[in-house]
Amino acid sequence: MIRGSIDKIDLGTSFFEDIISRESFYVDKSGFIERFLNNTNKVILIARQRRLGKSLNMDMLRCFLTDQKDNRALFSGLYVEKSPVWPKAHSAPVFYFSFKNMSAKNYKYKLFRQVVTAFNPYFIKNALSENDKSIWDDYLNAKGNDSDGLLLLTELVFNLTGKKSYILIDEYDKLLRDNYQADEYDDVFEYVKLFLSAGLKDNPFIEKGLMAGVLRISYEGMLSDLNNVVTYDVFNDDFFTDDYGFTEEEIDEIMALTHIDKDKLRLWYNGVKINQKAIYNVYSVSSFLQTGKYGCYWGNSRLLDMIVDMMNDDRKNTLMELLNGGQKEVIADTRISLKKLWRVRDDRSFYSFLIQGGYLAMDSMDSQKGTVKISIPNKELIQVWSDSILSAFYPDEIKIKTMFDNADNTNLLSKDIENFLSDSMSYYDLSVHKGEDAKKVWERVYHIFILGILSAYSGASYRKPISEGEGGDGRYDVLYQRDDVNYIFEFKACEEASQMEKQAEMALRQIDIKRYGAGLKADQHVVKVGISLFGKQCKVRCE
């Protein structure tokens, strides 16, 4: 059900009251309230990808339950108004906490202030006993050094009102994500764990608790200490599946009010999956409805910075395959360890991170093997990945976009490619670990580097490059296609600088000898590119 006007889309707020009272566009998600209240688990964690409406759903739940303000008129005509849980509206203390906009320097004080702000209305209206007043004064004097804030808040409110509280914690993982590399991470983690454990684990003064965030962080012991938390995440949730993101049925309702091409909308914004069910990105669809233009509305985020930091050669190769439209089977855990992500560089956590963050779709899961099949599900995410490659592989955007300005002159093209490689590679990229074949390492690094540049290239007339494809009597390194011309790249590593001229020529001749262009259309021109390399030096031959 759609409320408000499709011509009044508010992208700047996650406050339910603002959206409803202003009659802004809203797709009815109030069935979430019924499912949450009917769920038999006392404390629930819902982990979802970015931009699917987590904060709005949580604020809607707060508006429904709170006894501080009668918001029942906001729900007029929505699903929950006819639900059996309707009598619970405007009935209980509800305390909303957010870990957003906190740093490793101020998080204790900010959590302290949220506890104080939440308690003030009850404190003003009711008289504390002498014992409770003494306890409260001690907490105020601690100014955030006491991690029992949640427990204390719910206990004092119960003593004042006789009511058990609902605890809502939004973006519970953001403080940890933002500080995963910081020296203070272990201290931050320990305090957050104690704060949540005290308030949510075996707390007799809460009715129910809800945490929401992007990642299921549990390997470090946070959720294992909260042994009463039941998690609903992108891997296994069959309960709250339709409550985040737009479903096909909801998109059909939107289509009835517009003249939008649904197939094109699906191509751009559908495909991120919850328990292998595809949904639409709420923010991106809403942004498109507002602007009428297809494009990437995700923008950058700290998550993307983390991904770039954690890339290695194998992961870049996997990404190239996915950008070429492929599907890849990888190992992935359903839980995240931020320590393993950064300190151990664990692939299981890395690919789980990409799936939970919404940057990849999980198409299927093999629980016995511990593997999942992943893909890049839509055009928006292809653009997100391509833009990240532009900045990560080659920060000078103008140079990438002019790489083929001299494509019709093989001598100039050769010089352009040589300049790209010599300007951009570093000795760190070309380092060789003990036991590795240096020539193979160097060839692989150059291979991935060129593949990354070509995958990120923004020329509309170019298709995605093909890596290690079959052609003629062997496998070429990289094939890059355009409607009227094809580029075949072959790489050769050298043990001495003096070999570079000869090896570049050999790479060029190998393209002919192996007939790498045999499967291409006869009427298409082929540019052959042989590249030899030694350290940061390279030679390029084209014809």
CA distance 222 to 194: 9
Return the pLDDT at 450: 72
Return the pLDDT at 428: 42
Return the pLDDT at 398: 45
User: Pairing relation of β-strands 328-331 and 474-475?
Assistant: unpaired
What is the b/e burial string over 477-509, where b = at least 16 CB atoms within 10 angstroms of the residue's CB? Answer: bbbbbbeebbbbbbbbbbeeeebbeebbebbbe
Residue-range domains of the chain with CATH: 2-232 (3.40.50), 259-380 (no CATH), 394-542 (no CATH)
CB contact set of 208 (below 8 Å; sequence gap of 6+): 36, 37, 42, 43, 44, 166, 167
What token pair was written down for 412? Answer: 């100039």
The per-residue pLDDT string of the chain (543 residues; one tens digit each, 9 = 90 and over) reads: 899 999 999 998 999 999 999 999 999 999 999 999 999 999 999 999 988 999 999 999 999 999 999 999 999 999 999 999 999 999 999 999 999 889 999 999 999 999 999 999 998 878 899 999 999 999 999 887 889 999 999 999 999 999 999 999 999 999 988 888 888 988 998 999 999 999 998 899 999 999 999 988 876 666 666 767 899 999 989 999 999 999 999 999 999 999 889 999 999 999 989 988 999 999 999 999 999 999 999 766 677 777 887 888 788 888 878 887 788 999 998 888 787 777 667 888 889 999 998 999 999 999 889 899 999 999 999 888 887 766 666 555 444 445 566 666 666 777 767 666 665 554 444 555 556 676 777 677 777 777 766 766 544 445 667 766 777 778 888 888 777 788 888 888 888 888 888 988 998 898 888 888 777 777 778 888 888 887 767 788 888
Opening angle at CA 321, ends 398 and 262, nearest 5: 85
> Can you state the angle between helices 313-323 and 347-357, rounded to 10 degrees?
40
- Answer yes or no: are the C-beta atoms of 273 and 361 closer than 8 Å: yes
